[in-house]
Structure 1
Amino acid sequence: MSWDTLFLLVNYWAIGGWALLAFAPRGPKILALVLYAGVFLLALAYAIMLGGFLTGTIDPGGPGGGSFTTLAGVMKLFDSPGGATLGWTHYLAFDLFTGLWIARDADNKGFSRVVQIPFLFLTLMVGPVGLLAWLIVRERRARAHAKARAGK
């Protein structure tokens, strides 16, 4: 399988998870599907690619090498089709997991799906910005829920 094909496959796989998260009924089965068929499989693909790169059994399709200790080293890691696909799969898995947490947290705090969609979209497109926005918005309701539980 080419790196271009694998890149498209992980993208479409992640989009499927995001579509379920945003638009499907949020029962336990759907949430488990997003977690295990979405996040788990993306994380598994990442682990297989990483293991293959580290052992030399998978060719990154470029210069390879690099490290996580310097900017130049990280740039070298991403300077191949395999390295870029590896990094992108990492982002997709963590962003989908974060989106799943946001959706569950928002449901627990009584936020409607209409209110949740912009935060999920931001998390899909610019992960940490979506998470930051959600953390800011949820704070007031989280405090109100904590007060209500303490008063019971």
Structure 2
Amino acid sequence: MSTLFDLSFSVTVPFWALMIFAPTWRWTRVIAGSPWIVLAPLTIWAIVTVPVLGTLWALVTAPSLAAITDAAADPAILTALWAQILAWDLFLGRWVYLDSREREISPWLMGPVLVGTILLSPLVFPVYLVLREVAGRGSRDREVATVA
């Protein structure tokens, strides 16, 4: 189980590396443009989840802190949850990357935002939403100045 736990992060690293370290490379946009980049961690999730699907189903249909705390002691449940978190963070990071490229937000600014998305997406995602509004205002101001 430990190998699958470790592998679930390792399979996401190449995509994060492209978005952070090669954001303007044409192939990064092509690769990140596909929602299928989350397939690898979701495959690990499926492999781990099938044997514990009954337990996991009970947790999500009747959640309680006590039940989730008890289930987290099971390496298979914890690995499944970890793979799901990593897949979600990658999907969210993919959207942030693509949105920032479309808005022409500086890759120097987006690198730390994407690293933050890997580490603490619930905290950093709202920061990005504010950033995109500020950057959006700047690009609207440039468009108005260009037209005038």
| TM-score, length basis structure 1 | 0.77
The answer to whether the 8 A contact 1:7-1:85 is kept is yes
The answer to whether the 8 A contact 1:119-1:134 is kept is yes
Quick check: 72-81 or 139-148, which moved more? 139-148
Instruction: Give the number of aligned pairs.
Output: 141
> What residue in structure 2 maps to residue 120 of structure 1?
114
> What residue in structure 2 maps to residue 104 of structure 1?
98
SS in 1 for 2:11: helix
The answer to whether the 8 A contact 1:46-1:90 is kept is yes
Structure 2 residue aligned with 1:67, among 59, 80, 88?
Answer: 59
> What residue in structure 2 maps to residue 81 of structure 1?
75
Runs of 4+ in 1 over 6 A off after TM superposition: none
User: RCO greater where, 1 or 2, for CA within 8 Å and sep 6 or more?
Assistant: 2
CA distance in 2, matches of 1:36, 1:42: 12
1:41-93 per-residue CA deviation (whole Å, 9 max, x = no partner) reads 2123223332332269xxxxxxx896131111222232111111111111111
Q: Unpaired runs of 5+ in structure 1?
A: 57-63
Q: Unpaired runs of 5+ in structure 2?
A: none
> What residue in structure 2 maps to residue 24 of structure 1?
22
Between the aligned residues of both structures, percent identity stands at 26
The answer to whether the 8 A contact 1:66-1:75 is kept is no
Quick check: 95-104 or 136-145, which moved more? 136-145
